Amino acid sequence: MPEGDTVFRAARKLDEALAGHEVTRFEVRVPRSATVDLRGETVREVVPRGKHLLMRIGTQTLHSHLKMEGRWHVYRPGQKWRAPAFQARAIVGTRPANAVGFELAMVEVLPTAEEDRVVRHLGPDPLSADWDAAQAVANVAADERAIHVALLDQRNVAGFGNEYANELLFVRGIRPTALAKEVDVAGLIDTGVRMIRANRDRQGRTFTGDNRPGKQTWVYGRGGKPCRRCGTLIEGSELGARATSERIVFWCPVCQP
């Protein structure tokens, strides 16, 4: 599942492959930006912002969001794609490498000077150079909703997705339904930052320190299985700001009282 660390790694890989090179092929296969042609321009950099990816080309930015299924692949010229062509939403080619974005839920081209329009709403990003811990804590602590919902709201803090929210709350011993204003938000955010920064440079995401398949999480995806700490069966339910945004939550009824 793409989360802040996934987007960070994707941006780094794309930047290493494309930055400084002239665009030789450019396709955006969505109506809004389908006529844009940036061939001849130079890829300046690729940067992440929360779960958003910003590819800056000349004076323009190719903005994409991975959502649940999206991913970017990098190929050598002539190399066969590892996903069906009909799933490609964006293609940026240079002489040394080609980048293809598959199943991107959101993709558009806009002037780099107007990037704020698509990322202005985001809260502080723990993987950015301008991370503001105090502001993130203040945002979450002021949220009137359940802490799980508050953590997932990208306006409060950018980059934490459902897997992080579940794992973070378990490690801190907090029930997902506890109100944000009633928990130690500062400690929670500090732990979350350390988690996502540790995973930023790993090949595979882990919360337990064990990279073996099936061993990476404490509670996420483990409904009905014994808690790794106390042996109590992990419980699961759904929780969200509204019915259309509900996410599956997992918790240990003993370790998260």
pLDDT in tens, 178-201: 999 999 999 999 999 999 999 998
- How far lies 113's CA from each of 13, 26, 130, 168, 232, in Å? 24, 20, 19, 35, 53
pLDDT tens-place string over residues 23-44: 999 999 999 999 999 999 999 9
Mean pLDDT of all residues in 8-20 = 97
Note the pTM of the prediction, 2 decimals: 0.90
Tell me if residue 182 is catalytic: no
What pLDDT is attached to residue 244?
A: 52
Confidence of residue 156 (pLDDT cuts 50, 70, 90): very high
Q: In the predicted model, what is the mean pLDDT of residues 57-84?
A: 95
| Interval 221-242 mean pLDDT | 92
Locate 209 and state its tokens: 């320190």
Q: How many CB atoms lie within 10 A of CB 126?
A: 26
CA distances from 72 to 1, 44, 150 (A): 13, 18, 28
Q: Contact 167/152 with Cβ under 8 angstroms?
A: no
- pLDDT tens, 91-149? 999 999 999 999 998 999 999 999 999 999 999 999 999 999 999 999 999 999 999 99
Q: Examine the residue annotation and report whether 16 is marked as an active-site residue of this protein.
A: no
Measured between alpha carbons, how far is 85 from 102 in angstroms, rounded to an integer? 8
Selecting among 3, 44, 49, 205, the annotated active-site residue is 3
Q: Does the annotation count 51 as an active-site position? A: yes
* pLDDT value for 1: 56
Using a 10 angstrom Cβ sphere, with 0-12 exposed, 13-18 middle and 19 or more buried, the burial of residue 234 is buried
Percentage with pLDDT > 70 across the chain: 97
Of 9, 51, 89, 222, the catalytic one is: 51
Instruction: Tell me if residue 181 is catalytic.
Output: no
Terminal Cα distance for the chain, rounded:
27
Q: What is the mean pLDDT of the chain?
A: 95
The pLDDT, as a whole number, for residue 161 is: 93
| 3 state SS for 221-235 | CCCCCECCCCCCECE
Residue 171's φ and ψ, nearest 5 degrees, are -60, -35
Q: Which of 71, 181, 197, 247 is catalytic?
A: 247
